């Protein structure tokens, strides 16, 4: 089971990373980033198209090597529980493991709303792949408020379910080609400097 988690985590992490770089993937993924507060069930708030793409990337290698039904079932439950834990607003600490496990203490940095700054900590189960991709970031001094979450480029993203399902296919769901602002002066960025590539998708 542990091997299945590590393999699935690689596919999901790479797809998540690509979703912040490629406009067609960002469109459905933006639904998840429209959240404006950290709450466990927000982990499950994803566009079904993007969820399908992400999970397919995670389980395809496992299917190719032979994925037992019982392991597949356990993995599905584990993914759902992990998404709840990863987006929980519970104040629990895991010490040095926060540099390895992708739980809420580190994942909340990924939901910072400013262009480029939130393009970090993509892992679902672990942060191993983020260390290898150079996208891991953690600032122990950071304090979060709800106005730091969401998307600065799209503060009025639809909140109704059917509108969110449709938004990726509308003109308004497109990427922004120009920078849309940065974190207010006085707050230190927690991620890599924005680039022309990631400015286009946040």
Q: How far is residue 163's CA from residue 150's CA, in Å, rounded to a whole number?
A: 17
What are the backbone angles phi and psi of residue 143, rounded to the nearest 5°? -120, 135
Identify the pLDDT of residue 187.
43
Q: How far is residue 148's CA from residue 181's CA, in Å, rounded to a whole number?
A: 13
How does residue 93 score in pLDDT terms, banded at 50, 70 and 90?
confident
Identify the pLDDT of residue 178.
40
Residue with tokens 């230190």: 188
| CB atoms inside a 10 Å sphere around CB 5 | 20
| CB atoms inside a 10 Å sphere around CB 87 | 24
Q: What is the largest CA-CA distance in the chain?
A: 52
Contacts (Cβ under 8 Å, ≥6 apart) of 172: none
How does residue 196 score in pLDDT terms, banded at 50, 70 and 90?
very low
How does residue 112 score in pLDDT terms, banded at 50, 70 and 90?
very high
DSSP type of residue 160: S
Q: How far is residue 24's CA from residue 22's CA, in Å, rounded to a whole number?
A: 6
Candidate from 75-89, 111-125, 170-184 with smallest mean pLDDT: 170-184
């Amino acid at each position: 089971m542990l091997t299945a988690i590590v393999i699935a985590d690689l596919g999901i992490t790479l797809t998540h990373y690509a979703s912040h770089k490629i406009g067609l993937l960002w469109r459905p993924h933006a639904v998840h980033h429209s959240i404006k507060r950290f709450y466990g069930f927000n982990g499950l708030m994803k566009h079904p198209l993007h969820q399908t793409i992400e999970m397919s990337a995670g389980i395809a290698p496992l299917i190719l090597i032979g994925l037992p039904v019982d392991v597949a079932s356990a993995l599905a439950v584990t993914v759902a529980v992990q998404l709840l834990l990863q987006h929980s607003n519970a104040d629990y600490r895991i010490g040095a493991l926060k540099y390895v496990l992708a739980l809420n203490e580190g994942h909340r940095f990924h939901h910072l709303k400013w262009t480029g700054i939130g393009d970090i900590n993509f892992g679902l189960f672990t942060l191993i792949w983020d260390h290898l991709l150079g996208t891991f970031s953690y600032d122990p001094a950071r304090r979060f408020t709800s106005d730091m979450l969401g998307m600065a480029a799209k503060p009025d993203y639809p909140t109704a379910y059917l509108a969110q399902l449709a938004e990726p296919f509308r003109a308004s769901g497109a990427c922004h080609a120009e920078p849309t602002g940065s974190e207010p002066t006085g707050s230190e960025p927690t991620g890599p400097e924005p680039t022309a590539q990631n400015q286009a998708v946040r």
